[in-house]
Amino acid sequence: MKRALPIVLALALAACSRPETTPVAVHDLSPEQMLDKIRAQPEVGNEVVFQALADEAILDLHADALAAEVASNYLKAKKLLDDALLLNPTDPQVLQSRAELAIRDQAWTQAEQYAQRSFDSGAKLGSLCRRNWLTMHYARMAQGRSLPPPQLAKNLNECTLVPPARL
């Protein structure tokens, strides 16, 4: 019985493993290309994702900001996101959206700071986590200090947690 416990624990940990690598090309990109890559981070199949319940006022401001961005009214989008951050300065979705607008403006330091705050206040899992890391990576890359590809791939992979297979 004593020998079975370590084996069961090892199997349980192996079942919660993460994918091996996530390749990310590192080269000169325009802010729009960076945003396309950042926003292309989907949820991965049946990965585990946690999200806090959002305030309706923040959801409305965020939705209005996204609509303003689609309409190319970036100043209005930034203002709406800033208003949402006044209500909750740690909302990870709003912080990441604000970071992405900073990428568009080539405000690299600001983009990195917003993405880091989003990561720090978020669940550190799922597509938001991957968007956080890519935003930080591209903002740093534009400043000549990007993460080494193996480190970036490791960080991106840590954002993905798949539940154990059920027998």
Q: Domain spanning 25-158: which superfamily?
A: Tetratricopeptide repeat domain (1.25.40.10)
Distance CA 58, CA 44 (A): 26
Predicted TM-score of the model (pTM): 0.78
Pairwise CA distance, residues 36 & 33, whole Å: 5
Q: What is the pLDDT at residue 59? A: 95
Mean pLDDT of the region 121-131: 91
As given in the structure block, the two tokens for residue 85 are 């951050």
pLDDT bracket for residue 123 (50, 70, 90)? confident
Is residue 139 classed as helix, strand or coil in its secondary structure? helix
Ordered by start, the domain boundaries in the chain are: 25-158
Cα–Cα distance for residue pair 80/8, rounded to 1 Å: 51
* Cα 157 from Cα 147, distance rounded (Å): 14
Q: How far is CA 78 from the centre of its chain?
A: 19
- DSSP letters along 63-88, please? HHHHHHHHTT-HHHHHHHHHHHHHH-
Q: Token digits for 53?
A: 């319940």
Give the orientation angle of helix 56-70 with respect to helix 74-87, to 10 degrees: 170
Contact 153, 19 (CB under 8 A): no
State both tokens at 134: 């890519």
Say which amino acid occupies 83.
D
Distance separating alpha carbons of residues 75 and 138, to the nearest angstrom:
22
Give per-residue pLDDT as tens, 32-85. 999 999 998 766 656 555 666 779 999 999 999 999 999 999 999 999 999 999
Q: What is the pLDDT of residues 92-104, one digit of tens each?
A: 999 999 999 999 9
